[in-house]
Amino acid sequence: MRITDPGLKAVAHKYFSGERLDFQDAMTLYETPDFNGLGLLAHEARVRRHGRKAFFIHNQHLNYSNVCRNRCVFCAYAKNAGDPGAYTFSLEDVRNQLTCRAGEPIREIHMVGGLNPALDFDYFESLLHLIRELRPEATIKAFTAVELDYLSGITGLSIEKVVERLKKAGLAMMPGGGAEVLNDRIHKALFPRKINKDRWLEIIETVHGQGIPTNATMLYGHLETLEERVLHLLLLRELQDRTGGFSAFIPLAFHSANTPLSHLPPTSGVDDLRTIAVSRLVLDNFDHIKAYWVMLGEKLAQTALFFGADDMDGTIVEERITHTAGATSPKGLSREGLEHLIERAGMLPVERDSFYGEMASMEVQ
């Protein structure tokens, strides 16, 4: 391995002798001038776990409402009820969205939305029942810790009880959003009405305890420092040690268009790749690091497969949240399009289900 920075060499030695990296090591990874060396190191870690495999899933996103009472500073997606562009899907709307893709072998329905005071618990249970009826073969991956906390608040039910009922209605997995950066300073500045880091960690621990795996994300590239990013990763690693319930980590590059933070420059490609690489090396107890092509763009996501990422997410069909914040990537990709991106990178495309079970090869064709 051609690593030129002596500090990075020491971290590489530590990592490959099986020692866990600490805060200072993670900072060395973030700050090393040896960007190529960092990429080599993260790629080696990725290849040792997954070889040339690069995972993807045939999925569909459903964002049921953009009406949200929280109005986080960084969010371009949320509206007040009655604002131009505010929407809430009726069950009929959801039925139409699912049936118009009935011919596609969709493996996962990914569903999140705003905290809309007009929606009651029945709505969410009915949504899950409907999806299960129309897509019995797909895994329902839905709701963040923020939505669970909200549902607990409007019903008076404990988080355990909320999860139990949603699980009964069809919930099988949760995506990893809502934490943004696990840090009180950032919480106060950017999303004070949303749950804080302690509550997010507590809810996710409860969810894992009830047998529902989740992902974890980090929204980076706004007000946070590198130190705060590293502390976020270490908090996730600590929770994963206790529960083993995280499936994948997904760094999310912040898009500032249509937000009060639109003066902030976009993240650089180097920062995006560096963040993927640091995540791969620090999160030694996470199996998968995802390059979310919607936020990175297709070409950078493809490059990220050489900086520690092993998953390109999915076909998605119609992404709304990042596109309201100015993402210029397409709103969906075909399965062939994703396979093509992976193959052109010299990697092996592997279609997966929500739990990283590999689909039979004849279905990948």
Closest contact distance (angstroms) between CB of 77 and ligand SF4 is 5
Nearer to ligand SF4, 77 or 143 (CB): 77
| Smaller CB separation from ligand SF4, 190 or 338 | 190
**Can residue 14 be called a binding residue for ligand SF4 (CB under 6 A)?**
no
* CA separation for the pair 53, 47 (Å, rounded): 8
CB 217 within 8 A of CB 181: no
Q: Considering beta carbons, is residue 106 or 190 the nearer one to ligand SF4? A: 190
Of 26, 40, 62, 78, the one binding ligand SF4 by CB under 6 A: 78
Does 194 bind ligand SF4 (CB under 6 A)? Our answer is yes
Question: Is the Cβ–Cβ distance between 149 and 206 less than 8 Å?
Answer: no
Binding mask 144-183 for ligand SF4 (x = CB under 6 A): --x-------------------------------------
Cα–Cα distance, 205 to 3 (Å, whole number): 38
Q: How far is the CB of 71 from ligand SF4 (least distance, A)?
A: 5
Structure tokens at 203: 């809810």
Question: Any idea what DSSP says for residue 141?
Answer: E
CA-atom Rg of the chain in angstroms: 20
Q: Cα 10 vs. chain centroid, distance in angstroms? A: 31
In three-state secondary structure terms, 215 is strand
Should residue 77 be labelled a site residue for ligand SF4 when binding is judged by CB under 6 A? yes
Cβ(178)–Cβ(202) below 8 Å = no
Number of H-type helices and E-type strands within the chain: 16, 10
Cα end-to-end distance, the chain, whole Å: 35
75 binds ligand SF4 (CB under 6 A): yes
Question: Could you give the 3-state DSSP secondary structure of residue 235?
Answer: helix
Instruction: Report yes or no: 115 and 68 within 8 Å, Cβ to Cβ.
Output: yes
Stretch that binds ligand SF4, among 7-15, 67-75, 82-90, 234-242 (CB under 6 A): 67-75
* Of the residues 29, 38, 42, 72, which one makes contact with ligand SF4 according to CB under 6 A: 72
One-letter amino acid identity for 76? A
Q: Do 302 and 344 touch, CB atoms closer than 8 A?
A: yes
Q: Quick one: which of 9, 49, 71, 101 contacts ligand SF4 (CB under 6 A)?
A: 71
# of chain residues touching ligand SF4 (CB under 6 A): 12
Choose between 115 and 296: whose C-beta lies nearer to ligand SF4. 115
User: For the window 16-55, what string marks contact with ligand SF4 as x by the rule CB under 6 A?
Assistant: ----------------------------------------
Q: Which of these ranges, 73-81, 101-109, 120-128, 284-292, lies near ligand SF4 under the rule CB under 6 A?
A: 73-81
Question: Closest separation between CB of residue 192 and ligand SF4, Å?
Answer: 10
Q: Interface with ligand SF4 includes 190 (CB under 6 A)?
A: no
Q: Which is nearer to ligand SF4, 216 or 304 (CB)?
A: 216
Among 57, 68, 166, 316, binds ligand SF4 (CB under 6 A): 68
* Binder among 44, 49, 70, 353 for ligand SF4 (CB under 6 A): 70
Rounded distance between C-alpha atoms, residue 209 and residue 201, angstroms: 12
Helical residues (DSSP H) of the chain, grouped into ranges: 6-16, 23-31, 35-50, 91-99, 121-134, 145-155, 159-169, 184-190, 197-209, 226-243, 269-282, 293-296, 298-304, 321-324, 335-344, 361-364
Considering the rule CB under 6 A, would residue 114 count as an interface residue with ligand SF4?
A: yes
295 binds ligand SF4 (CB under 6 A): no
- Residues engaged in binding ligand SF4 (CB under 6 A): 68, 70-72, 75, 77-78, 114-115, 146, 191, 194
